[in-house]
Amino acid sequence: MNHTILARILFPLLSVCLISLGLLQSASGAVVGTENAMQLQQRTAQIEHINAVLAEHQVRNQLVRFGVDLQHATLRVAALSDSELQALDQRISELPAGADGALEVIGIVMLVLLILELVGITDIFKSF
């Protein structure tokens, strides 16, 4: 009797376990090069700089006025390619600093809105 239970339950269970061991994938690792690490660090710094500009009071008010959620804009900035991110960061860095920069803030907001429009997140410019 014990041999029958062993043959009916344990052997199929053991067979399934052994077969499933062959389906497991192993993890692999590689050395991260200095150039890749520097690019990642530069990208992170650019994203933080752009998000800091987006979090400013005037820019936030303009985004809300245009109906853009700050969280969507932040997610879109994180999804930009390296060249788009560099161009946007360079454009923001070229703008003069100070409280008298209402036109620059509007320019930044329009640039972000244009990027959001091109990606298809918003439909702002279709109403004009």
Dist. CA 109–CA 112, nearest whole Å:
5
Q: Is the Cβ–Cβ distance between 47 and 79 less than 8 Å?
A: no
20-43 pLDDT tens trace: 777 777 777 778 788 888 888 988
Confidence of residue 89 (pLDDT cuts 50, 70, 90): confident
Model confidence at 53: pLDDT above 70 = yes
DSSP assignments along 95-123, one per residue: SPPSTT-HHHHHHHHHHHHHHHHHHTS--
> What does the domain layout of the chain look like in residue ranges?
56-128
Dist. CA 50–CA 94, nearest whole Å:
13
0.75 exceeded by pTM: no
